[in-house]
Structure 1
Amino acid sequence: MDTALQILQRYWRFSDFREAQKPILEAVLSDTDLLALLPTGGGKSVTFQVPALVKPGMTLVITPLVALMENQTAQLQTLGISAACLHSQQAPEQRRKTLTGIPQGRWKLLYLSPESLLSPPAWERLQQTIINRIVLDEAHCLTSWGSSFRPDYHRIGAVRRSLGNPPLCAFTATATPRTQQALVDLLGLQTPKILRNSPYRANLYLQVRKIWYPQQRLKEIQQFLTQRTLETGLIYLRTRNGTEKLAAHLRTLGFNTAAYHAGMAAEQRRETENRWLDGKLKFLCSTNAFGMGIDKPNVRWVIHGNTPLDLAEYVQEIGRAGRDGQPSKVLLLASEPTGWLDPTDRDLHRHFRQQYLEQRKKARQQLAQLPKTGTYRLEDALSLAILHEQGQLQWKTPFDYLLNTQSFQASAVELNTMEGYLGCRGCRWQFIISAFGWPKQSVCGHCDYCCPKAAF
């Protein structure tokens, strides 16, 4: 720890680590496998960046976010630390420079996506250098379903074995006990240390409102925004079309906003993201494609225009509010339970669940056609990931698999876990912390049940 503290003081100019960082730092320095549940903004990056400078060799940081890769790399370079990133949007010359530096031992930290990691040019060079640690950021992508699901995350356990079995540290903001165990199993973590922080945030005020007809949703959003014209926020919706329509409608009313979703060109997404970070846009109308790795401290509110698929996704998204510790509002607009008067949420959930079931049906059908042992093919990526999640496929290397048709385990994806939250007749924060495996506490005073007269 003494060497780590000296590095922190030399490069970051901090006198000491935060208390919440110290247990994580100790685990990383001890070279054990680690699963750490730490909210974004909790200072997790320093807990693996400092150890990367303590040990010889290079630390691989696997993240799905290009913007985060570039921001982290730029910050480290500003501090005088040799860091680089590798992604598909880079200029060819920059990519060549980064790749050339890998076998030369030029980089102490290399940020890259799982897809870039497993590309032939990168993989060939990674086997020519010493990897002292693999860090997996946003590890929930391994068990998420939908736009955040990344099939190549399922090959990371095999990546570690093929690179000399360095320690593996996985970070995520939220995970239920079931998801934590799934992450341990799918990544092949070896007697890992598991460090958790409670998801409870005393400065977030939670409210759920029932929507009885489609126009009410627009009226509720408009009324909420009219009272907060100077505040920064986020509106989450389930579909790309929904974000476009809502952003266009709100602009006609004079609100300074834009849509954001994965269907936009990468450059357009980055421009929109930067305009929001710089305060040029007060809020965004976004799918869940936005937010991972974003740390904007003064977000005063988060609205969910539709009910999220699961509680972990919801907690992850509301956690983007109030990072500065100031009181912030969280509003969920949920269609009335029967879906008779407002079928929006019911139809969306039915659509996404059907997609989910169809993909798993396709994977099971493909199981009968795949050879007992085989090699990764891009067109099979999703099915192979699903079979791995269900325990019916093992990655021998990142590119070669072995089928196990006798084994089957339930998916870690938890659909419809929001129903209990919407229908709970008690403290909403108590419901959340209980769902994430923490003992219930006294009433929070920060939700519409405990404090119904609070000014939402």
Structure 2
Amino acid sequence: MAAVPSVPSFDEIRSKTFEYFNKRPCAWQVHICQEILHGDRDLISIAGTGMGKTLTFWMPLIFRPQGIQLVITPLNILGEQNTAILHRIGIEAIFISGTTAKPEIFQDIASLRYRVVIANPEELMREHGGFEMLLQDKIFNSHLISIIVDEAHCISQWGSFRSDYRDIGRLRLFQRKLCPILATSATMSTGVIEDVKKVLRLREESLFVSRCSTDRSNIAIIVRPIVNPIYSYRELSFVLGDWEPGNPPPPKFIVFFDNIKYSVDAGHYLRGLLPKDEQSCINWFNSDMSDEFKRSEAERFAHGETWGLLATDSFGMGMDLPDIKLVVQYCAPTSISMLWQRFGRCVRDPSLNGIAILLAEKEYFDHLKNTTKKRKRGITTKTEPGSTAKRAKVRPLSDPTNNLSRIDDVPLDDDEGDGEQEDDTDNEQDEDEDGDEERDEDGRKEMQKDRNKRTHGMKKSKKKSKKDQIEPAIIDLLNAGQRGLGCRRRIFTDTFQNSKAARWLSSLPSCSS
């Protein structure tokens, strides 16, 4: 490969990116591109969902005409999605999966046919696989611009059951010449960042960290206890609003679950509330589904043929659908990072407003613990999944951003009054900005330190109850009002250290200038 050309200027990168991709990059995107092109530093990029981290993967290709980008993705559907997008704009790309990891394909890659190569960790780290030889190939390695680890928080979050994630750093042992590694995510806490640096063997002495705020001010955050039997799924009937045959579909929604069976059961319940002809408008989406089904269902959802999905993380990270108005997490997740990733599927179009709702078990709310214990001595009935039980009476949900300005307006079936909370909605726009200025910063830091200690002090054993696994930040989120922690949004802000976001970037040209 010829000598590395000089790194283009800020203005040149912006103009060329607009020319090639019809998108004018923000200052932080330009700086990441410049650092990748310099080629002598590893990078961590933290920015909110939908802010354009993926664009920074492709920008360097403009200025290295023979360069190659290697991207590691957690989900096959994301690899396929990115490959299709690149093909549409004339960039040769390939996603390596179990069906495409063939010797002739790796020969094509080694002969520099593709500008972008995308793979999941399992294919990348396959013993004696194509990548091991590829990264030792002198010619291929000399053309490699950078290795990109997309959704890098998965190294910590998924490493326990996808062990190849913990081995990605071994790539550096294969390389004849090191190239930059770029680790990106919208949800990396301090602990996750340290883990990522260690696993990927990032060169810490020269590490470049780009940190933008991960806040999504166009998403209202609501927390509500589940007051009906959990496995009845009655709490979810509100997502259909007052829909009747002949009416427009309800706002596009996703309900996330931590368990595949629960997502399917909930799907049967919601289908049972609809006439037979419309039942196919509700579907479940999880890792048990074939890749072909996932592709088809993602298309149906994008085009509005599917109204809502009951999903696990198989539908989540990186899916670029701009108009999902409502995201619900059913039952408390164990990780604050996981929750914010799921909430981040909501209204990726910044011109839209949407709502993210956490429906959690009563036992995790401080003021409802006694109530929960009493109810355990009572008798509850379980609604069988798929039953055609009469739909609970619900209020209209024609536009969640208009109808759900306060928690009391959330159209959930609320037969049991003891589950109510005061002021459960946090829809911050400008009203909290002044409060941020006045907040006791030292107190916030101490609060986060205590939360970190509780997180790191959690017992590590193979068998733990869900209660033992839940991060302290989740419990604080559920009880923010009762514990005097203020706005729930600040739990996310503190966890992901949004206060450290590079404030000086605001003085540089913006995306729209």
Report TM bin, short chain. 0.7 to 0.9
2:462 counterpart of 1:358: yes
8 Å Cα contact 2:333-2:470 kept in structure 1: no
Residue 76 of structure 1: how far off its partner (Å): 1.9
CA distance in 1, matches of 2:470, 2:360: 19
Partner residue in 2 for 1:363: none
2:77 and 2:291 in contact (8 A); partners too: no
> 255, 262, 266: which one pairs with 1:242?
262
Q: Secondary structure at the match of 1:139?
A: coil
Tell me what 2:36 maps to: 28
Q: After superposition, give the CA deviation of every residue in 1:287-342 in whole Å (9 maximum; x if it has no partner).
A: 22321120100010111111111111111110110111211111111111235347
Instruction: Report how far residue 248 of structure 1 moved.
Output: 0.9
Q: How many residues align?
A: 374
Q: Segments of 4+ in structure 1 off by > 4 A?
A: none
1:43 alignment partner in structure 2: 52
CA contact (8 A) 1:160 1:168 kept: no
Gap change, CA 1:356 and 1:322, over 3 Å in 2: farther
Kindly provide the amino acid, as one letter, of the partner of residue 258 in structure 2: R
Write the distance in 2 (CA, Å) between the matches of 1:86 and 1:216.
39
Q: 1:80 to 1:355 in 2, by over 3 A?
A: farther
Q: Is residue 125 of structure 2 the alignment partner of residue 118 of structure 1?
A: yes
- Could you tell me whether the CA contact under 8 Å between 1:142 and 1:149 is conserved in 2? no
Residues 158-179 of structure 1: per-residue CA shift (max 9 Å, x gap): 2023212211000111111221
Gaps of 5+ in 1: 345-353, 361-412, 441-456
Name the % identity: 27
What is the DSSP-based 3-state SS (H/G/I as helix, E as strand, rest coil) of the residue aligned with 2:306? Answer: coil
Give, in whole Å, the separation in 2 of the partners of 1:280 and 1:83: 29
Distance in 2, Cα, partners of 1:113 & 1:234: 25
For residues 15-69 of structure 1, the C-alpha deviation after alignment (integer angstroms, 9 at most, x for no partner) is x322342232233223221011123322222212121342344221111222222
Tell me whether 75-84 or 60-69 shows the greater mean CA deviation: 75-84
Partner of 1:21, secondary structure, is: helix
Distance 1:50 1:318, change over 3 A: same
Q: Pick the aligned partner of 2:226 from 176, 199, 211.
A: 211
- 1:73 maps to which of 76, 83, 105: 83
Counterpart for residue 286 of structure 1:
311
Q: Which amino acid aligns with 2:256?
A: Y
Amino acid at match of 1:279: G
Kindly tell me: are residues 224 and 84 of structure 1, through their superposed partners in 2, closer, same or farther at Cα, counting changes over 3 Å?
closer
Alignment match, 1:138 = 151
Shift of 1:208: 0.9
With normalisation by structure 2, the TM-score equals 0.67
Which residue is equivalent to 2:338?
313
Report whether the alignment pairs 1:423 with 2:484. Answer: no
Amino acid at match of 1:428: R
Q: Deviations over 1:233-274 (max 9, x none)?
A: 100112111111110111111152111111223333333222
- Cα deviation per residue 1:96-136 (whole Å; 9 max; x = unaligned)? 55312122122221111121122313322332222231111
Q: After the TM superposition, which residues 179-194 of structure 1 pair with which residues of structure 2 at under 5 Å, given as runs?
A: 179-191=192-204, 192-194=207-209
Paired amino acid for 2:214: P
Residue 225 (structure 1) shift: 2.6
Structure 2 unaligned runs (5+)? 1-7, 244-248, 364-368, 381-457, 501-513
Aligned to 1:267: 292
CA distance in 2, matches of 1:417, 1:113: 30
Per mean C-alpha deviation after superposition, the further-off stretch among 71-80 and 275-284 is 71-80
User: Is the 1:203–1:328 Cα contact (8 Å) retained in structure 2?
Assistant: yes
Residues 69 and 288 (structure 1), Cα distance of their counterparts in 2 relative to 1, 3 Å cut = closer
For residues 434 and 5 of structure 1, the distance between their equivalents in structure 2, rounded to whole angstroms, comes to 32
More off after superposition, 245-254 vs 220-229: 220-229
**TM norm structure 1:** 0.75
Q: For 1:149 and 1:275, how far apart are their aligned partners in 2?
A: 30
Are residues 22 and 5 of structure 1, via their aligned partners in 2, closer, same or farther at CA, if it must alter by over 3 Å?
A: closer
Structure whose alpha-carbon radius of gyration is higher:
2
